[in-house]
Amino acid sequence: MSESARRRVMHTHAIRALLLATDDGLTTGELAKSLGVTSSYVNGILTDTYGFYIDRYATLPSKTLAPVWACVVVPPNCPRPTQKEKDDE
């Protein structure tokens, strides 16, 4: 794995941890500031990775709307579907 790919994986895990630790969600700018990276880099991770979603929009002081991101909480004992359940869909 290349160094940039490894960094992206580490940032993805850090974003997930930040969002799960924050009940109210965070904007792209807040996440970028926390990680010391650019907002466009964070936005790329958020839009490309399963489990992140826009919870709502917040109005910034500049009167623009910013998406507030959250993360899906996956139950630790989530059962895998059986083949019969897959066939029934």
Residue 85 domain-assigned (yes or no): no
pLDDT at 27: 96
pLDDT at 4: 87
Closest by CA to 38, choosing from 64, 16, 7, is 7
Q: How many CB atoms lie within 10 A of CB 34?
A: 14
Tokens for 31?
């996440």
Residue 77 domain-assigned (yes or no): no
pLDDT at 85: 56
Cβ–Cβ under 8 Å, residues 12 and 32: no
In the chain, how many domains are there? 1
Residue 83 domain-assigned (yes or no): no
Domain that holds residue 61: 3-71
Residue 37 domain-assigned (yes or no): yes
pLDDT at 74: 79
Q: What share of the chain has pLDDT > 70, as a percent?
A: 93
Residue 10 domain-assigned (yes or no): yes
Burial of 71 (0-12, 13-18, 19+ CB in 10 A): buried
Give the pTM: 0.80
Cβ–Cβ under 8 Å, residues 43 and 15: no
* 42 or 77, which is more confident: 42
Residue 53 domain-assigned (yes or no): yes
- Residues 48-83: pLDDT tens digits? 998 999 999 999 889 899 999 999 987 888 777 777
CATH number at residue 16: 1.10.10
